[in-house]
Amino acid sequence: MKHPVPICASVFLALAAPNAIAAEAVEANTGETPTVYTPENFAQFAPRTALEMVERIPGFSIDDDDDGSRGFGQATGNVLINGQRVSGKSNGAESALGRIAIANVARVELLDGTALGIPGLSGQVVNVITRETGGVSGTWHWKGRVRENLPPTYNDMALSLSGGKGAVSWTAEAESAPERGADAGPERITDATGALIETRKEDYTHAAEYASLAGSLAWKPVGGNIANLSAKIGTYEPDDKEISKLFPVGGLEGRRLFQGSEDEKTAELSADYAFDLGPGRLKTITLARREESPTTDRVRGGNLDGANAFDSLFNQTVYEGEYILRGEYAWVPAPGRDWQVSLEGAFNFLEAQSQLFASEGGAPLAEIFLPNANSRVEEQRGELTVTHGRALSKSVSLQVSLGAEMSELSQTGDAENVRTFTRPKGFASLSWQVDPSLKLVTRIDREVGQLDFFDFISSVNLNQGNGSQGNSEIVPEQSWKVSLSAEKDFRDWGAATLTVFGSDIEDIVDRVPIGAGDGPVISILHGGSVPTSTRR
């Protein structure tokens, strides 16, 4: 099934920017003259870290390191540190920038990714150049907050340190970031036809604790070899509470209490090593990541006279894991030309264990059968890609990549299924530096999407009163994407990026209702049916 998407446009505009400083070419063989920023350009904002400096660059926004994609694939981020990609996800480039004190930043270069000879990079890219201080430096902050009807916070704090000596450098960070939030007001509940069923007056509170430890170690001896090791562990514990006064149409006033909690734990370890081999350079990358997320949701209530009492409970524990091994071999046969061959293997899994309980009229909780809620999904994936870049002229550069992805998806538990896929992928990007202040970049991609493993597993949202039924038959999306970007530097007035893009998607994954009316009933919860939907 194909779903053409209309052409769209997006604009990112930043004004009142600090002055940029013209600079010589970053690399003699690229011919690219970047825009260079130093910490002095951002003095009015008093940045403490490289991250706070990069976030202020006009016309530039950081691509999220952890966008949910499995594996690394080609370079999708737009941040480099000393000309190197950061081999991490939850502990990727954005986290690494936050651990670099502003005193250790020599400059930040803003340039076109196609000029760097790194496959997959196009459009605006920042390269953060650090200086060797020979000592230890760092930043810290602490903040307390007191808010009515919410637990106070005295542990909003972070400490970041970095240092090095000789060929070895390191960073470390400890962070605690509590969350507090609340809202109150009316809510209207309607049926599928839009008719009002119930009016509620709700009071919602959110309190969460987040803490993490992260660090990195780099080794850069004189011989040119480069090794990096990074790690991060974290915990996230949200607690949500919603108290509602219920005013059913034609019924008696009631009360409803929702409580939800989670105890998420994550860990990530990544490493890479690059060295000269033959006419080129080989880089190996590995990553291991695990996550455990037990959640509990409960809804209780009834009429003020004690009638129509209901109680429902949903417990789910999700285990997720990802393991990646990637190799990249690159060489430059002549100035302005580069090649890279990459090979990647990845293993991902998600395992869910779920239980649903319900009762009415004050009866004890009884377990309700929830189909396809206890299952394990695995994917083994391999990818081979060849990429070539070359300068067509002093102002025009081209990058072309061709590859294929092979994967096996399997599901066990409540559903049993095994499927294999082999699909082509690649892109072509053309960059034209029209003049020193204007650059045009056009790109066409053949992409293979990645399925959300949660779409394979059935789940229930007690607070919303609905559910999602897992579908073990969905397949990854494939798409053609075309884009044209114009990057304009207005100097003292700031910078802007205008992008026009269009997509044609096959095998689209979408949410659809099941059955007639509200869909098939999973169970009887708090006096009504729970509609379900699925992915196709």
Q: Rounded to an integer, what distance in angstroms lies between the CA atom of residue 273 and that of residue 225? A: 7
Angle at 24 between CA 120 and CA 401, to 5 degrees: 15
- The residue with tokens 């009002």 is 196
395 CB-near residues (< 8 Å, 6+ apart) = 432, 433, 434
Query: Once rounded to an integer, what is the mean pLDDT over residues 289-316?
Result: 94
Pairing of strands 153-165, 136-145: antiparallel
Burial class (CB in 10 A: 0-12, 13-18, 19+), 188: exposed
19 or 165: which leads in pLDDT: 165
Structure confidence at residue 136 (pLDDT): 84
Please tell me the predicted confidence (pLDDT) of residue 427.
92
The token pair that represents 390 in the structure block: 């070359």
Write out the E strands in 363-458. Answer: 366-368, 375-391, 396-413, 417-435, 438-448
Are 141 and 157 in contact, with CB atoms under 8 Å apart? Answer: yes
Where residue 294 falls among pLDDT bands split at 50, 70, 90? very high
**Residue 5 pLDDT > 80:** no
What average pLDDT score do residues 18-47 get?
A: 63
CA 34/CA 111 separation, integer angstroms? 5
399/132 Cα distance (integer angstroms)? 34
Q: What is the pLDDT of residue 185?
A: 94
Task: Say which residue, 463 or 514, is predicted with more confidence.
Answer: 463
Phi, psi at 509, each rounded to 5°: -100, 120
pLDDT confidence of residue 142: 95
Query: How much is the pLDDT for 9?
Result: 40
Structure-token match 């490289």, residue found: 50
pLDDT reading at 78 higher than 90: no
Q: Quick one: pLDDT at residue 133?
A: 65
End-to-end CA, the chain: 11
* pLDDT class of 66 with cuts at 50, 70, 90: low
Q: What pLDDT score does 403 carry?
A: 94
Would the pLDDT of 85 be above 50?
Answer: yes
**Could you read off the pLDDT of 422-479 as tens digits, one per residue?**
999 999 999 888 988 888 989 999 998 888 888 888 888 888 877 888 888 888 888 9
**CATH number, domain with residue 21:** 2.40.170
pLDDT, tens digit, for every residue of 517-534? 333 333 334 433 344 444
Query: How far is residue 366's CA from residue 357's CA, in Å, rounded to a whole number?
Result: 5
Mean pLDDT of all residues belonging to the chain: 83
Identify the weakest region by mean pLDDT among 62-71, 235-244, 333-342, 360-369: 62-71
pLDDT for the residue 123: 66
Residue 384, pLDDT score: 96
Taking the model in full, what pTM does it have? 0.81
Kindly tell me if the per-residue pLDDT of 337 is higher than 70.
yes
C-alpha span between 140 and 48 (Å, rounded): 9
What's the mean pLDDT in 29-37?
A: 66
Binned at pLDDT 50, 70 and 90, residue 120 comes out as: low
Taking only the tens place, the pLDDT of each residue in 486-509 is 988 887 777 788 999 999 998 887
Q: What is the pLDDT of residue 76?
A: 60
Owning domain of residue 37: 2-535
Mean pLDDT (whole number) for 67-83? 69
As a whole-number percent, the residues of the chain with pLDDT over 70 amount to 84
**Of residues 522 and 337, more confidently modeled:** 337
Q: Given pLDDT bands bounded at 50, 70 and 90, which one contains residue 29? A: very low
What's the number of domains the chain is made of? 1
What contacts 24+ positions apart, CB below 8 Å, involve 298-302?
298/258, 298/259, 298/260, 298/462, 299/256, 299/257, 299/258, 299/462, 299/463, 299/525, 299/526, 300/256, 300/257, 301/244, 301/246, 301/254, 301/255, 301/256, 301/257, 301/526, 302/254, 302/255
- Concatenated DSSP letters of 508-523: ---EEE-SSTT-----
pLDDT digits (tens, 9 = 90+) for 434-450: 988 888 989 999 998 88
Alpha carbon of residue 446 to chain centroid: 21
The predicted structure's pLDDT at residue 65: 60
- For residue range 264-277, what is the model confidence (pLDDT) as tens digits? 999 999 999 999 99
Provide the percentage of residues in the chain whose pLDDT is more than 90.
46
pLDDT (0 to 100) of residue 163: 85
